[in-house]
Structure 1
Amino acid sequence: MDKQGNTGKTKRRPIKRLSLHDEVVASLREMIVTGALQPGDRIIEHDLSAQLGVSRTPIREAIKTLTLDGLVESPAHRGAMVKPLDAAEIETLFQVIAVLEALAAEQAATCLSPQQTRKLENLHSRMKKAFDQGDRSRYFELNSEIHDFLVEHSGNPILRDTHERLMLRARRGRYLAILSGTRWAEAMQQHEDLMIALRQGDSELAARIWRAHLQMTGEALLQSLKESPT
């Protein structure tokens, strides 16, 4: 204890909890990403209020947030609805995301600490297990963690912030892309190839694999839109 009566222990900051607004936004975003709310579906405040057990006010506020994120739109006299996927926007989004994530993978090949590498290996192993079990939901959850992990540890805050904003609009496209069994298996193999490149410390190969991975995801989504336009 010092002269001021302090014990010398660092005061812990209280753990931040998600606000009601954040929870409702996260729930609605998940519904849109996974297709529970389809492109073009109307967002019925009364129904969602009952489903989520909240009043209509946080639903309205969440709709505003998701509109800014590019997931919801409100055409005149029609009310809020899930924004349809736009092929031109998807193509542009994945072109940019492919470049950003390729740079992140390039950095990861030489910059990850042993502890970070172990965490990445663990995520990859769990994702592979979900793939083997045919659990798309769990696979997508872990897949997203891996992509975000590489970006987070790129050492480039501008890359990280730009990627985060773009993924608010692109994440549902990545989910739809793996609904194709062929693309899902192909994507899993590309993850395996990336891990080999990272273990070898081959930054050029890691970047090349990851850029192709994201480009092919975008192409798979575009093909899906052509077959089932939304």
Structure 2
Amino acid sequence: MYKIDAPAQLIEQVYDAILDAICSGTLAPNEKITQEGLAEQLGVSRQPILQAFQLLKRQGFIEDAGRKGVMVTALDPTRLMQLYQVRSVLDGLAAREAAERWKRDGDERSAGEREGRALIAAGRAVSDMGDLSARIVADMNFHQFIYRSCGNPMVGETTALHWHHIRRAMGAILSSDVRSHIAVWDEHEAILQAIIDGRAAVADKLARQHAESAAEHLARVLTSEEYASKRKQA
């Protein structure tokens, strides 16, 4: 984690730093954390840590661990599978609507194609890097681009309610060797191309399959011996 610069929106900065560490796996599931330890790492007082803890507890990222502070909650496979089931439907809808929208509006299509291809290039550039946070951000940026492109703000607003939990799941997937990072971006590119070509049904199908494939790989990660070992070590 990084040191926090001074006061403006300090609680939000502390919250973001802790959440980023949880989503990237720097703070592992079941790992115990204390106000004192994080205050020292982040270079802040205990007060903003306490307030950030309260937010993170309400959102289900940490839980009380007796007198020793709090600990990072374990990823719940059942809840995440349910979340990905909903996500697959929304991703399919977003891709379908984006394709239909771009088919009707050439200017939207041209601008969207430029932005989409730039995001694909950026994602491929970081796919083999050791920076897990950068890979998660690149993945998130692509999907949020599709949500924006569909023209229905309710899609983005609905996914935003659970996006940090999806982000955490992405961290578990991308930190494993189960799924090729290159294959992920090949799938992204296929979705984008279907949208550019105006093939709404194909874009819908590919986006759903992409989310379903991610869910399958996530299930494998969460039931793997390697993941179980990491949890015990935490």
Could you tell me the TM-score, scaled by structure 2's length? 0.84
- 2:221: which partner in 1? 224
Asked whether the 8 Å contact 2:11–2:51 carries over to 1, the reply is: yes
Determine which of 28, 31, 34 is the counterpart of 2:18. Answer: 28
| 8 Å contact from structure 1 (residues 33, 171) kept in 2 | yes
- After TM superposition, list the pairs within 5 Å mapping 1:23-172 onto structure 2: 23-75=13-65, 77=67, 79-112=69-102, 113=108, 114-131=110-127, 136-172=132-168
Name the counterpart of 1:196. 193
Separation (CA, whole Å) in 1 of partners of 2:26 and 2:129: 22
Contact 1:94 1:214 in 2 (8 A): yes
Deviation at 1:77, TM superposition (A): 4.8
Give the root-mean-square deviation of aligned CA atoms: 2.0
Alignment match, 1:10: none
Aligned AA (2:127): F
Q: Which runs of 5+ in 2 are unaligned?
A: 1-6, 103-107
2: CA distance, partners of 1:98 / 1:18: 38
> What is the distance in 2 between the residues matched to 1:35 and 1:133?
16
Bigger mean CA offset, 149-158 vs 162-171 = 149-158
Rate the CA distance shift 1:206–1:35 in 2: closer, same or farther, 3 A.
same
| Cα separation, 1, equivalents of 2:129 and 2:17 | 25
SS in 2 for 1:181: coil
Q: Deviations over 1:164-218 (max 9, x none)?
A: 0111222111121122335123312211211221221111111111111111111
Q: Which amino acid aligns with 1:60?
A: L
Q: Deviations over 1:17-72 (max 9, x none)?
A: 97111111110110000011000011211111111111111111111111222211
Query: Is the CA contact (8 Å cut-off) linking 2:30 and 2:74 kept in structure 1?
Result: yes
Task: Identify the residue that residue 169 of structure 2 maps to in structure 1.
Answer: 173
Q: Which sections of structure 1, spanning at least 5 residues, go unmatched?
A: 1-16
- Aligned residues of 1:69 and 1:169 also touching (Cα < 8 A): no
1-structure distance, mates of 2:130, 2:43: 31
Aligned length: 214
Contact 2:124 2:182 in 1 (8 A): no
* Maintained 8 Å contact 1:194/1:206: yes
**CA shift digits 1:70-106 (9 cap, x unpaired):** 2112255553211101111111111111111111111
Distance 1:55 1:189 in 2: 45
Quick one: percent identity of the two aligned structures?
Answer: 29
**Most deviating of 155-164 and 201-210:** 155-164
Q: Using structure 1 for the length normalisation, give the TM-score.
A: 0.85
